[in-house]
Structure 1
Amino acid sequence: MWFKNLKIFTLTSPLSLDDDTFEQQLSEQIFRPCGNQDIASAGWVSPITGGASLFHAGDGRYLLSLKKQERVLPAAVVNAELEERVQKIEADTGAPVSKKAKQDLKQEITQEFLPKAFTRDSYTFGFISPKDNLVIVDSSSDGKVEAFLATLRKCLGSLPVVPLARRSLSADLTLWLSQDQTPADIELLEEAEFKSPDEDGAVIRCKNQPLDTDEIRLHLDAGKLVQKLAIEWDETLSAIVQEDLAIKRLKFTDVIKDQNDDIPKDEQAARLDADFCLMSAEVIRFVQALDKAFELSED
């Protein structure tokens, strides 16, 4: 249970969760497989394989898993069937099929093929930390994040959250690099993305490139701003920090992950609990360090 991406939200008012009540609330949006005519279905499942509860609690934090099931119906298959039927109708009637009739026929084919289509499952994990007023979702997709929050909001009745960063951090990241103003616990790695503020919006991406070279300095002197920056934090994790504070390619060091190696692999529930408690605690520490570095709580 190690997150790979972070979308960070702060609760604007305290959230109190009672375990029994929370379980009941989540059950109102429990996952149900796609019906014959459903294109997609989404709902909560246990974050532990085979678990009975729709959440896992550890150290006052709540881990959730939103499952989405989609029917895979390739457009090429529908369009090929549509073309074949249109040709037959036109051959039989001697008249062209209208655009409206084609749309209706396409919808009919889609409904006919849906029950036979394969399904594809995906999962979005996230956790709530009421004591830290944080909701954190493991996804790089804005759509998946919004679906997670919207489903949770529907269960709770309300979910007063806003992004932790409500302004662009591009200028801050640029200062880290150009003025050597990186916080003491953050080390810059060899990857970054720069964007020109001009109308052309030229973008420069570099990887495996030291960031203290004359080549990088030329981009900064030309007024380009940092959009993404690879960092290592507190010898605990590495990640890409984006100007909107989205965290991508999150990787925890072995120093952290090895702390739970004494738990037998066959004790899956115990291992997940330990991994979640450890991972979420480090994520919270990291988020709080970013909050302080960017002075977000003071905005």
Structure 2
Amino acid sequence: MFFTNLVVYKFKQDAEFKSDDFNAALEQDAFRHCGQQELSTFGWAKAFGKYGESLAHFSDRRILVCAKREEKILPASVINEMVAEKVDQIELEENRLVRMKERNELKENVLHTLLPQAFTKSSMQYAFIDMDSGLLVVNSSSFNKAEELTALLRKSLGTLPIVPAFGQYDLDVFLTDWLTNFNTPQGFAIGSDAEMQEADDSGASVKLKGHELDGDEVKAHLELSGKRVTKLALNWSDRIKFNLQSDGAIKQVNYSDALKEENADIPKDDMPIKLDADFCLVACEIVQLVTELIDSGLDSSEQDDGNESLIAEHNAKYQDSNGNDAFYEEAKAFVQETESASVSRIQRKFRIGYNRAARLVEQLEANHIVTAPGHNGERTVIPF
């Protein structure tokens, strides 16, 4: 029940849900095992497994959910070997070459034959909603994986008005400032791991692990080379240690021994009670961590004036001679290749802050690479 990686979203409106209605919505997409010809299935499982009675677990205005995926195990090497054998047999018996179209048909036939016999593997992904703070937290190491769960939840509920909790902040600006000045928001301390990247489009990066981050070597990377911080290890109140990335993902979450042992006195025979206690404990800590990080570190009124000039200086550092972002050409190629002008996709692709990604899209619009947002808020890539 201890979340180890966090992707955090914020509801754009009040997050109020009733247990009966919420569980009824999830029942529409309850997990089921793969059929004979299905490669995978994805649906809701009981949040407390065999110790639970419903798909979603409600406790103290928090909701725990669990998405389960089952996949058939079909190694590509096995499929390719069987296809090759069939191709060899046809070419030998019929004295002709097997073309690509026929190879693909043979592959489909092999898959059709093997799927019912294949072993399966399953994986679970947990998330919780805190109705008071309006946060949705997914236990995931990447936004792509987290969005599989949020997409399923949106399908079940009919709507899911959320945005990345850190999306409005240029986190690389804050991380770089914190490490440069070795000064963090109240309650947070810098750890011993960091990753830095060149401000230009060279992609050069430096990874430091178990390192004294207040030394001259780190200062040289930041002040002389002008690198930006893309990941920084932080310690929150000696209760949780974690790595905060510039894209907003929180990774390698480690809880203090005192925190992990807080519910150790609950007998194992009372597993449902222990699971509920652990869930409430962890959810409360995570919500408080995220709230303090935003309130004291990113939204602090004491830092507003300094942040404005800091961000302006940061933006100038990452511009080319034409005033475009240093990632502009790469972003242009990316949206034309993917035919998508999503700010969040650009943010994840280049591991930059949401605001910087949004400015990139605005530059693409100004240069007639993408259209202005339509009535649904989406942009279209203009053919070239």
Give the TM interval when normalised to the shorter protein.
over 0.9
Distance 2:170 2:113 in 1: 47
Matched, 1:27 2:21: no
> In 1, are the aligned partners of 2:241 and 2:254 still within 8 Å (CA)?
yes
Deviations 1:182-235 (A, max 9, x none): 112111111100000112121100111100111111111210011000111011
> In 2, are the aligned partners of 1:165 and 1:296 still within 8 Å (CA)?
no
Report the counterpart of residue 292 of structure 2 in structure 1: 289
Distance 1:20 1:164 in 2: 27
How far 1:296 sits from its partner (Å)? 9.1
5+ long unaligned stretches in structure 2: 305-354, 356-384
Matched, 1:95 2:99: no
Distance 2:215 2:154 in 1: 47
Report the counterpart of residue 224 of structure 1 in structure 2: 227
Letter of the 1:121 counterpart: S
Distance 2:300 2:248 in 1: 10
Matched, 1:242 2:245: yes
Distance 1:296 1:133 in 2: 20
Distance 1:82 1:45 in 2: 36
Q: With structure 2 as the length reference, what TM-score do the two structures score?
A: 0.76
Deviations 1:100-159 (A, max 9, x none): 000111111111101111101000000011221111100013332111001110111100
Distance 1:24 1:227 in 2: 41
Report the counterpart of residue 209 of structure 1 in structure 2: 211
> Which residues of 2 match residues 254-265 of structure 1 at below 5 A?
254-265=257-268
Deviates more, 1:70-79 or 1:165-174: 165-174
Secondary structure in 2 aligned to 1:177? helix
- Larger RCO (alpha carbons 8 Å, 6+ apart): 1
Letter of the 2:41 counterpart: S
> In 1, are the aligned partners of 2:182 and 2:190 still within 8 Å (CA)?
no
> In 2, are the aligned partners of 1:8 and 1:134 still within 8 Å (CA)?
yes
Letter of the 2:185 counterpart: P
Distance 1:214 1:171 in 2: 20
Distance 1:37 1:249 in 2: 37
Deviations 1:40-72 (A, max 9, x none): 001001111212200111110000000000001
5+ long unaligned stretches in structure 1: none
> In 1, are the aligned partners of 2:41 and 2:69 still within 8 Å (CA)?
yes
> In 2, are the aligned partners of 1:37 and 1:115 still within 8 Å (CA)?
yes
Letter of the 2:239 counterpart: T
Q: How many residues end up aligned between the 2 structures?
A: 299
Secondary structure in 1 aligned to 2:102? helix
> In 2, are the aligned partners of 1:42 and 1:67 still within 8 Å (CA)?
yes
Distance 1:278 1:181 in 2: 29
> In 2, are the aligned partners of 1:164 and 1:296 still within 8 Å (CA)?
no
Identity of aligned residues (%): 37
Report the counterpart of residue 277 of structure 1 in structure 2: 280
Distance 1:178 1:142 in 2: 28
Distance 1:291 1:214 in 2: 29
Bigger helix share = 2
